[in-house]
């Protein structure tokens, strides 16, 4: 077991978790045991990942920015990063819209199934719509206001306010850049040290990752089986075509868009990229959270792909909070699917509205499980599609969340490679630490 590479161990953990969960649901005693005695270890695992997210972002971003050397380089890197974020987001939504227009999964949904889905998930959909309504009552510039913390210590106690921590860390980094070296040295070396210590802790957490994902997957299966009545499985089947449409779109993103991007801008082979980032992708899948996976994404991108620390610590925390290609593709497909199922014909301007609002929604989506579904409500309303329609897509939500999180993470990692390569700070493969597992 010791000799196996990390991603194989994580995959094994997932597979055994799946088999265990499937067997557990056959016996109610074992299912209860799974929830009482196995699930907590999954929760502990996710908690420990989240525990290091804020200090890691704070320390690595401050050190990263301070080491960039000058402000003009920082603003060039910032502009480039945001530009690629917007470009990949628009590509992913357009891809989603194209796939759903070709496959038309909504038109295949029988009227009776549609009624059943609406009545079964209405209540659940209602609560998401309420959350979205709250988000919507805020003014148009509220996201900008939300980026600035009113108290950095408070902000750093809340993983949901990661963007505020990113904002503060950027500011400290910039200020350090402009402070005379001898005066800023202590602060810089403190954060440098903190950064190293946190990275060590991430490595400890990764050692137990295979067990963590086993517990997460086993508990997930038991829970899904618990709250899906028999009929729901039938309905889930009816939605298979929709789920496949989302998955095909995401697959094209992973198999075509990112490889082309990486090939065009860097010398890194896509296979090497994929191999390096694999454990982070698997964790994204198991946790459904880009924020929880962030420490691991940063670790892999630096150690296995050779992205410089200054780029990784700048691009990835930002990416985990504002760049969500999987989520925006999912939102594009889902909006059109709902419209198709309800027999609505969308105009060109409604399609454009979807592209625009889904791009903005990606920025507003937190890197936590289920956030993309809440933001979808806003996309639907902007495009004039009834928000209650989300009841139609609730059944496969969890599995699609897992997959889109994986794509979100792969997107962030690809952008970090492109930025590092164009900045001339991507280490060549032969300079990487081969022994690092
Ligand atoms: N779970 C996703 C993430 O963390 C966000 C979403 O719900 O789409 O990246």
Cα(290) to centroid(ligand 1), Å? 6
pLDDT value at residue 290: 92
Indicate the pLDDT class of residue 229, thresholds 50, 70 and 90. low
pLDDT value at residue 234: 65
pLDDT value at residue 90: 95
What are the pLDDT digits (tens) for 105-160?
888 777 877 777 777 777 777 777 777 777 667 777 777 788 899 999 999 888 77
**Mean pLDDT in residue range 354-368:** 84
Other beta carbons within 10 angstroms of residue 217's beta carbon come to: 24
What are the pLDDT digits (tens) for 302-325?
999 999 988 998 899 889 888 999
Residues in contact with ligand 1 by the CB-under-6-Å rule are: 288-290, 324, 327, 365, 367-372, 401, 404-405, 408
- Among 122-131, 163-172, 200-209, where is mean pLDDT lowest? 122-131
Mean predicted lDDT score pLDDT of the chain: 88
Judge whether 314 and 77 are in contact, CB under 8 Å.
Answer: yes
pLDDT value at residue 249: 97
Judge whether 257 and 88 are in contact, CB under 8 Å.
Answer: yes
Query: For residue 2, is pLDDT > 70?
Result: no
Mutation test residue for ligand 1: of 368, 377, 400, the one with most atoms within 8 Å of CB: 368
Judge whether 248 and 96 are in contact, CB under 8 Å.
Answer: no
The two structure tokens encoding residue 16 = 């055994």
Atom of ligand 1 nearest to the CA of 293: 4
Atom of ligand 1 nearest to the CA of 324: 9
pLDDT value at residue 53: 86
The two structure tokens encoding residue 28 = 């109610």
pLDDT value at residue 233: 65
pLDDT value at residue 227: 62
Q: Whose CA is nearest to atom 1 of ligand 1?
A: 369
CA distances from 90 to 83, 105, 122, 201, 379 (A): 11, 22, 31, 36, 14
pLDDT value at residue 153: 93
Cα(294) to centroid(ligand 1), Å? 12
Cα(362) to centroid(ligand 1), Å? 9
Rg for the chain, CA atoms, rounded: 22
Judge whether 143 and 32 are in contact, CB under 8 Å.
Answer: no
**In terms of Cα–Cα distance, which of 319, 329, 257 is closest to 290?**
319
Instruction: Please tell me which residue, 115 or 248, carries the higher pLDDT value.
Output: 248
Cα(247) to centroid(ligand 1), Å? 15
Three-class DSSP category at 197:
helix
Cα(405) to centroid(ligand 1), Å? 5
pLDDT value at residue 371: 86
Q: Whose CA is nearest to atom 6 of ligand 1?
A: 372
Atom of ligand 1 nearest to the CA of 368: 4
Atom of ligand 1 nearest to the CA of 408: 9
- Among 57-61, 113-117, 239-243, where is mean pLDDT lowest? 113-117
Indicate the pLDDT class of residue 175, thresholds 50, 70 and 90. very high
Percent of the chain topping pLDDT 90: 50
**In terms of Cα–Cα distance, which of 250, 410, 285 is closest to 11?**
285
Indicate the pLDDT class of residue 5, thresholds 50, 70 and 90. confident
Judge whether 279 and 409 are in contact, CB under 8 Å.
Answer: no
Judge whether 104 and 270 are in contact, CB under 8 Å.
Answer: no
Query: For residue 231, is pLDDT > 70?
Result: no
């Amino acid at each position: 077991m010791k000799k196996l590479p990390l991603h194989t161990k994580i995959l094994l953990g997932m597979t055994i978790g799946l088999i265990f969960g499937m067997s557990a649901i056959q016996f109610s005693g074992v299912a209860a045991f799974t929830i009482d005695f196995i699930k907590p270890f999954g929760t502990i695992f996710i908690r420990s990942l989240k525990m290091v997210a804020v200090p890691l972002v704070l320390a690595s971003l401050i050190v990263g920015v301070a080491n960039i050397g000058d402000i003009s380089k920082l603003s060039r890197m910032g502009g480039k990063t945001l530009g690629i974020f917007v470009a990949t987001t628009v590509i992913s939504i357009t891809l989603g819209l194209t796939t759903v227009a070709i496959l038309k999964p909504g038109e295949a949904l029988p009227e009776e199934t549609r009624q059943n889905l609406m009545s079964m998930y209405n209540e659940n959909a209602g609560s998401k719509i309420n959350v979205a309504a709250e988000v919507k009552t805020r003014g148009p510039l509220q996201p900008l206001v939300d980026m600035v913390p009113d108290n950095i210590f408070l902000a750093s106690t809340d993983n949901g306010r990661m963007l505020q921590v990113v904002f503060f860390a950027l500011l400290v980094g910039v200020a350090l850049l402009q402070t005379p070296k001898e005066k800023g040295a202590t602060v810089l070396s403190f954060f440098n040290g903190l950064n190293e210590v946190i990275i060590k802790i991430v490595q400890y957490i990764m050692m137990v990752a295979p067990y963590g994902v086993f517990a997460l997957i086993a508990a997930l299966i038991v829970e899904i089986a618990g709250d899906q009545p028999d009929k729901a499985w039938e309905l889930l089947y009816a939605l298979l075509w929709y789920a496949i449409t989302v998955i095909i779109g995401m697959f094209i993103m992973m198999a075509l868009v990112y490889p082309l991007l990486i090939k065009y801008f860097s010398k890194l082979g896509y296979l090497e990229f994929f191999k390096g980032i694999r454990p982070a992708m698997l964790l994204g899948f198991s946790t459904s959270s880009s924020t929880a996976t962030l420490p691991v994404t940063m670790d892999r991108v630096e150690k296995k792909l050779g992205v410089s620390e200054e780029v990784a610590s700048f691009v990835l925390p930002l990416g985990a909070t504002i760049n969500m290609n999987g989520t925006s593709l999912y939102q594009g497909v889902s909006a059109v699917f709902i419209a198709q199922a309800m027999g609505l014909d969308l105009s060109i301007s409604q399609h454009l509205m979807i592209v625009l609002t889904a791009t903005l929604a990606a920025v507003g989506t937190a890197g936590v499980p289920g956030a993309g579904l809440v933001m979808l409500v806003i996309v639907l309303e902007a495009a004039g599609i009834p928000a209650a329609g989300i009841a139609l897509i609730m059944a496969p939500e969890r599995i699609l969340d897992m997959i889109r999180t994986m794509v979100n993470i792969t997107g962030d990692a690809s952008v970090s490679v492109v930025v590092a390569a164009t900045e001339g700070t991507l280490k060549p493969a032969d300079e990487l630490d081969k022994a690092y597992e």
